[in-house]
Chain A
Amino acid sequence: DVLMTQSPLSLPVTLGQPASISCRSSQSLVHSDGNTYLNWFHQRPGQSPRRLIYKVSNRDSGVPDKFSASGSGTDFTLEISRVEADDVGVYYCMQGTHWPYTFGQGTKLEIK
């Protein structure tokens, strides 16, 4: 199985400051169809996950542009330019290239 490793696992951030989460996969996430199925999700406490980013860097509708993502191959990053209170929760990366699809362990973002 493809191992997805996120860092850090805990991320205390001051309001208004930037945040960055790394996600590394144990093998390349380039699919045979040419797409790289690396997605990012945000789960607020007590809620279901919500997709933020799909295929490495595509923001979902309604996701503010303070969220950006990049990467290729096995190394990927999610960045938040200015953290707000509403951004707390757990962020997961997930690969949908190699079955079984796998998630990272999650990064818990909290306000310092």
Chain B
Amino acid sequence: EVQLVESGGGLVQPGRSLRLSCTASGFTFGDHAMSWVRQAPGKGLEWLTFIRSKAYGGTTEYAASVKGRFTISRDDSKSIAYLQMNSLKTEDTAVYYCTRSQHTLSSWGRGTLVTVSS
């Protein structure tokens, strides 16, 4: 069974950094692209970024709202995807979901809440 478990969320002040982790199991992690999607309180879904598998160059793409501030990475030896979030803003407050795949988001974690507030 595919499982994705996010961790690393919490309360952080504006301008500070946070790193989220997504620990995967139940599939060959290195064969799949991984993505992060967020959902602000009471709002819809926003796709943030993905990282391709090493077979496809491990390249990344970012939404304009986070480009230059957020960085996605992966450690295939540990089956973990990361989201490094810098220069956080109050509008980054959301539940952050880790998802498998690039185009179709086949599986989702339960999410981790990030609250940016002073």
Contacts and interface: CB of A to CB of B under 8 A. Distances in A.
Given A48-B109, A49-B97, A100 B47 contact: yes
A92 B108 contact: no
A41 to B, nearest CB: 7
A96 B102 contact: yes
A51 B45 contact: no
B86 to A, nearest CB: 19
Contacts of A50: 108
B105 A48 contact: no
Interface size class of B (residues with CB under 8 A): 10 to 19
B49 to A, nearest CB: 9
Interface in A19-76: 31, 35, 37, 39, 41, 48-51, 54-55, 60
Interface size class of A (residues with CB under 8 A): 20 to 34
A94 B108 CA distance: 14
A7 to B, nearest CB: 15
A102 B97 contact: no
Interface in B65-118: 97, 102-111
Contacts, number: 54
Chain B: interface secondary structure?
Answer: loop
B55 interface: no
Given A39-B104, A101-B103, 4 more contacts: A48-B110, A94-B105, A99-B61, A103-B44
Interface of A: 31, 35, 37, 39, 41, 48-51, 54-55, 60, 92, 94, 96-97, 99-106
> Lowest 9 CB-CB distances: which A-B pairs, in order?
A96-B103, A37-B103, A54-B104, A101-B47, A103-B45, A100-B63, A48-B108, A106-B44, A99-B61
13 contacts: A39-B105, A41-B105, A48-B109, A48-B110, A49-B97, A54-B106, A60-B106, A94-B45, A96-B105, A100-B61, A100-B64, A103-B47, A105-B44
